[in-house]
Chains A and B, each alone.
Chain A
Amino acid sequence: MDIISLRAVSKSYPSADTRLQVLREVDLDVEEGEFAVVAGPSGSGKSTLLNLMGALDHPDSGAVRIDGVDLAGRSDRALANLRNEKLGFVFQSFHLIPVLTAVENVAWPLFLKGVERRRRVARSRELLTRVGLAEHMHRTPGRLSGGQRQRVAIARALACEPKILLADEPTGNLDRKTALEIMDLFASLNRDGRVTFVFSTHDPTVVSYAGRRLSLAEGKVDDEPLGVTRHEDSAHA
């Protein structure tokens, strides 16, 4: 079943005295449980594609459906609810709330969802334990390493049990060793649950974990299934 569906999606941005066409009539389906990466050089439209899939932006034309819901014409409030309940986001710069502890950061999407406080805290603790941060729950982001912050961001993205996890260059600010740890964590999460992963990346290491590569060039998507992934490799090992 397609959990993400794009039909004839175009997106452009104003640039000097013209418009920069980033996506041209893109058709794309992502199935539930897939692990896909969006690859391409800088400025090719990777983030734009992810933003459209994440209901963070609107296409100039075409239709975007998330879990069967057409995003066109949805109110800001409806889109906020959809992002909160069906989507999880992991950013290159983590974007944690610096004044909150790890457990409070992870609990925040649950607060926005209206989950009762005790359940929020229990779920946040469980997720932080799952990403290996049981010992650092009460630290603020400023007292965590880059890898630990990204783990908190992953736990936050999973807090509301989303169907889709979107990550924009998730290893971009991490050293190689930490990047591999984070990708192993993503791979295990993708195996354990039925969460669909779509990442944008330059990093071949990240690509090696994916089952499908969506290469962007000239506003078009070149869809390329990958063979045995490191993800499956590590699962069989």
Chain B
Amino acid sequence: MPDLVFLSLRNIFRNARRTTITVFSIVVGFAAMACFGGFIEFSFEGLRENTIRTQLGHLQIYAEGYWEKRVSDLESVLITGPEEVEERIAELPGVATVTHRLTFSGLGTAGNATVNMSVVGVDLEGEQEFSDFEILVDGRPLDPGDPEGGLIGEELRNGLGARVGDWVTVLTSSFDGVINAVDFRVAGVVRSASREYDSVFAKVPIELAQRARETDKVERIIVLLEDTGDLPELLPRIEEILAGFDRKFEIRRWDELAGFYEAVVALYTGLFRVFAGIVGVVVMFSVANTMTMAVFERTAEIGALRAIGARRSTLIAMFLFEGLGVGLIGSGLGVAASWLLAAAVEAVGGIPMPPPPGMTQGFQAYFNLTGAVLLSAFAVTMVATLVSSVYPAFAASRIRIVEALQPS
């Protein structure tokens, strides 16, 4: 077997120019796939972290039955005294912060404008980590010493016509069904990744939200980790902690809550598959052309090999090894080319991208060449080269010896 591999490798470099062109096409295809995959991976990571750190956290903990009763009977599934749960979870290494929220909807008024609002009542001390991914465009962040301050989304500010320092009144109903109103002063205006979110979003101290709903309970406990990659390891440990309480809880991971993220992932993954398919077909044609030419050029040699005792299977293996070798060389150089491209993009500070649909700001794109991305490109390339070598290898094995040995 090593001798056959050795012969195949030598044959690869027999027609150096043709092999170079084929390998070049594989390298270009590989690098295109890897960089596109890297761009998608970068986009996923950005969207994922944005979604987690501005809205969802990594985990949300609810009282048991929350998802069934959150609309019909929310009060019955609120959490009383969340502090003891939060303290236990916060002790785990890798947990950045644990906080709680109470959300409600209402009609916000400032001056003459009235708009729908989605108000998030937050624990200001525990919420500090969440501001990392919100961009403050005006005013100042919420301050734990300011119980009447609030932040509003940029689009909501435009809808209300409010400015920093203005009072906004939010009309809602308490859990008893009584119409209630609370006021907060606009401390700052923020911009998140989502324009839709910004058009209704307001963040106020949780005490103010509890006053509006006339309760001292919270709706959910939110856990933010230092690293998203730690989630699989920490989730069972958090479940274990929750199981130690008399009360029962439900946990939802961020990806179970982020429908938009899942839709984007599905869309981009589909795009990548189509792209990889196109690249695979181009690589297949290139390699098939090279291998077919090799078989035609070496017909007499194939005849001689058969005459001295080579079996059909030996010839098939020889040409498949050649295809495999071309694929491996192309993939190896493709990895190097992809790294060089990614490094070049890094060096120039990324590729400026416009805001995605529904988003408020553009971003600098990079190629995040993860192992999975490179493995995908490698798999597509190798499958394409092997598949395109099958027919030439089979054709070589079926050549009639006497015809192959005839002088050309």
Contacts and interface: CB of A to CB of B under 8 A. Distances in A.
Interface of A: 47, 51, 54, 56-57, 76-77, 80-81, 83-85, 88-89, 91-93, 95-100, 108-109, 111-113, 117, 156-157, 160, 168
Contacts of A54: 307
Nearest to B4: A111
The 6 closest A-B pairs by CB, nearest first: A84-B309, A95-B304, A99-B10, A112-B309, A56-B401, A80-B311
Given A91-B304, A97-B7, A100-B7, A80 B405 contact: no
B306 interface: yes
Contacts of A97: 7, 301, 304-305
A80 B10 contact: no
Given A95-B301, A97-B7, A56 B311 contact: no
Contacts of A99: 7, 10-11, 13-14
Contacts of B301: 95, 97-98
Contacts of B306: 56, 80, 83
Contact of B3 (A83, A84, A111): A111
B405 A112 contact: no
B271 interface: no
Nearest to A97: B301
A93 B7 contact: no
Contacts of B327: none
Contact of B300 (A76, A95, A157): A95
B407 interface: yes
Contacts of A84: 308-309
B12 to A, nearest CB: 9
A113 B309 contact: yes
A43 to B, nearest CB: 13
B309 A85 contact: yes
Contact of A56 (B10, B310, B402): B402
Contacts of B314: 112
B163 interface: no
Interface in B389-408: 400-402, 405, 407
Contacts of B310: 80, 112
Nearest to B8: A99
Nearest to A169: B407
Interface string B20-43: 000000000000000000000000
A16 B309 CA distance: 33
Given A111-B3, A112-B311, 7 more contacts: A51-B402, A76-B311, A77-B311, A80-B306, A89-B308, A93-B407, A112-B309
Contacts of B48: none
B140 interface: no
Contacts of A111: 3-4
A177 B310 CA distance: 33
A117 B405 CA distance: 28
B323 interface: no
B307 A89 contact: yes
Contact of A57 (B7, B14, B402): B402
Contacts of A98: 14, 301
B308 A83 contact: yes
A141 B191 CA distance: 74
Interface in B306-348: 306-312, 314
B308 A108 contact: yes
A115 B407 CA distance: 31
B307 A56 contact: yes
Nearest to B312: A76
A54 B402 CA distance: 10
B325 to A, nearest CB: 13
Nearest to B313: A77
Contact of A156 (B14, B308, B402): B308
